[in-house]
Amino acid sequence: MKIALLGYGKMGKEIEKTALERDHQITLVIDAFNLQDFTSENLRKAEVAIDFSTPGSAFENILRCFDAGIPVVCGTTGWLDKFTEVKERCEQQDQTFFYASNFSLGANILFALNKYLARMMGSVTGYEVGSQEIHHIHKLDAPSGTAISLANDVISAVDRKNKWELNQASDDSVVPIQAVRQDEVPGTHIITWDSAVDQIKISHEAKSRKGLALGAVLAAEYIRDKKGVFTMGDMIRL
Ligand SMILES: NC(=O)c1ccc[n+]([C@@H]2O[C@H](COP(=O)([O-])OP(=O)(O)OC[C@H]3O[C@@H](n4cnc5c(N)ncnc54)[C@H](O)[C@@H]3O)[C@@H](O)[C@H]2O)c1
């Protein structure tokens, strides 16, 4: 498969390695240094684009792929205020879009466990929920997209919770997300349910970016001949 990489930073480079190992070709690499090459003509030499760029550029990059008629996998976080617009544009233009806040299989298993646990805890009193995400010091957005997804899943399952807040909870209706930036940590997410007598804790710790890159390449393979909006739940049925 011919792949265009939009964003050639830490993830873009890891995805390139994984794609080549799986016998795909990289036909275009776009980064801040060569934006002049980001044309529809160049994009159309690929069968699918994978965007791991920046919170400020992903939205525009996705729309450019739609305009060029190229399916796009996006892992960039920090732009989701525009997600509904992207979804609508994808449907109106009969295009293909795959988004995941976390492409690793293990983190998606954590999402499933978190939903299950939150449903249980919704009917139990005496426990307070908290969450923490730990990432490398270069990460531009906080909290992480994964931490937001986890918090939103708790909010959907537990009536007494209705929003998340970064670092501190201003009242009991809040799911707090503590964001820690530390060394070169690839990504750790922890959800705790704490009571006066005990604590339940579930977590996922990425050991490297390999699992994330593999998930993104598998997503590109998955959407190649499809139309519509997809996420990890469509690709891996847990
Ligand atoms: N969904 C996931 O599983 C997952 C996993 C890891 C990282 N991420 C997210 O992916 C994004 C990239 O992560 P990273 O660690 O590779 O970051 P990075 O900073 O190493 O790389 C981002 C690259 O995008 C480039 N860029 C800037 N403007 C651009 C533009 N207009 N078009 C294309 N590229 C442009 C930058 O120059 C940089 O090289 C971040 O938002 C991060 O949070 C998501």
CB 212 within 8 A of CB 79: no
Whole-number Å distance between alpha carbons of 133 and 47: 34
Q: In Å, how far from its chain's centre is CA 128?
A: 26
**84, 59 Cβ separation under 8 angstroms:** no
Ligand 1 atom nearest the C-alpha of 75 is: 1
Please give the pLDDT value at position 210.
96
- Taking only the tens place, the pLDDT of each residue in 95-122 is 999 999 899 999 999 999 999 999 999 9
**Amino acid identity of 229?**
V
**Residue 168: what pLDDT?**
85
The ligand 1 atom at the shortest distance from the C-alpha of residue 51 is 33
141, amino acid identity: D
189 touches 141 (CB < 8 A):
no
17 belongs to the catalytic site: no
What's the CA-to-centroid distance between 144 and ligand 1, angstroms?
13
The rounded Cα 120 to chain-centroid distance in angstroms is: 25
In a mutational test of the pocket of ligand 1, which residue from 6, 50, 77, 212 has the highest number of ligand atoms less than 8 Å from its CB?
77
For 12-22, how does the pLDDT look when each residue is reduced to its tens digit (9 = 90+)? Answer: 999 999 999 99
Whether the CB of 131 sits within 6 Å of ligand 1: no
Q: Which atom of ligand 1 is nearest to the CA of 53?
A: 24
What atom of ligand 1 comes closest to residue 212's alpha carbon? 3
Q: Which of 15, 29, 34, 53 is the pocket-test mutation for ligand 1 (most atoms within 8 Å of CB)?
A: 53
Give the pLDDT confidence score for residue 237 in this predicted structure.
Answer: 83
Distance separating alpha carbons of residues 164 and 174, to the nearest angstrom = 5
pTM, full prediction = 0.90
Pocket residue to mutate for ligand 1, from 11, 51, 110, 139, most atoms within 8 A of Cβ: 11
Q: Return the closest-CA partner of residue 189 out of 131, 138, 140.
A: 131
| pLDDT for residue 174 | 97
Q: How far is the C-alpha of 61 from the C-alpha of 222, rounded, in Å?
A: 20
Q: What is the mean pLDDT of residues 42-68?
A: 98
| pLDDT value of position 176 | 98
Q: pLDDT tens digits, residue range 120-175?
A: 999 999 999 999 999 999 998 999 999 999 999 999 999 999 999 999 888 999 99
On whether the CB atoms of residues 190 and 131 are closer than 8 A, the answer is yes
Q: Which residue do the tokens 């990504």 mark?
A: 187
163 is catalytic: no
What's the rounded Cα separation, in Å, for the pair 73 and 103?
Answer: 10
Which one, of 27, 25, 30, lies nearest residue 12 by Cα? Answer: 30
